[in-house]
């Protein structure tokens, strides 16, 4: 018996998949056959997607909202599409693009049109992913120029550091023992020492 499955993907846990899920139910896809994955579309090493593909059989139907929900890597989207439709014999419907419905137009002309549309949309999906990454990098650079710090906040240097630093310079105490007395890591103590030496040169 032919089964209809829906694949819903969002890039992060914070994003909402309701719009895609509603579209699946309206198609209709049985709710038990809707697979939701919260992971980047940069590649197809996604556990839910891989399990879904192993589960599907020849003649089954895969429904996705738009081609970028399948993935955002141009070459891998084309590979997955051909693997699913030609090797596994699975039909695919892209709800936002009526031309990408492998149940229709199985003749040469229909296949050619679908291939051209797929290549164009796959290119757009990858380009958008690259643009998002570039905007993120530009945003991070701009924030750093304004003095915004990323990562964990640095520990404040305790008052006891100066005395232990002097002892360390005089080789009266090891850096590891000094770090232990301050309750910080060895690397943190050495970083404070470097900063102290740099400031003394100013």
As annotated, the active-site residues are 11
E strands present in the chain: 4-10, 34-38, 61-64, 91-94
Q: Across the chain, which distance is largest between two alpha carbons, in Å? A: 85
CA atoms within 13 A on the CB side of 125: 23
Distance CA 195, CA 60 (A): 64
CB atoms within 10 A of CB 156: 7
Structure tokens at 3: 């089964």
Distance CA 28, CA 12 (A): 25
Radius of gyration of the chain (CA): 28
């Amino acid at each position: 018996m032919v089964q209809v499955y829906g694949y819903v993907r969002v890039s992060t846990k914070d994003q909402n998949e309701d719009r895609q899920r509603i579209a699946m139910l309206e198609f209709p896809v049985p709710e038990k056959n809707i697979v939701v994955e919260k992971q980047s579309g940069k590649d197809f090493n996604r556990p839910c997607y891989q399990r879904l593909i192993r589960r599907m059989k020849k003649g089954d139907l895969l429904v996705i909202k738009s081609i970028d929900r399948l993935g955002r890597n141009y070459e891998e989207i084309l590979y997955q599409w051909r693997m699913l439709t030609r090797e596994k014999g699975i039909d695919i419907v892209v709800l936002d693009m009526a031309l990408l419905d492998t149940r229709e137009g199985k003749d040469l002309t229909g296949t050619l049109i679908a291939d051209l549309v797929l290549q164009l949309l796959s290119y757009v999906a990858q380009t958008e992913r690259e643009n998002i990454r570039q905007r993120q990098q530009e945003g991070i650079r701009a924030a750093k120029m304004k003095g915004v710090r990323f990562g964990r906040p640095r520990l404040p240097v305790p008052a006891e550091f100066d005395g232990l630093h002097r002892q360390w310079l005089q080789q009266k105490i090891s850096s590891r023992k000094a770090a232990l007395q301050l309750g910080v890591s060895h690397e943190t103590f050495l970083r404070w020492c470097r900063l102290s030496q740099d400031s003394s040169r100013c």
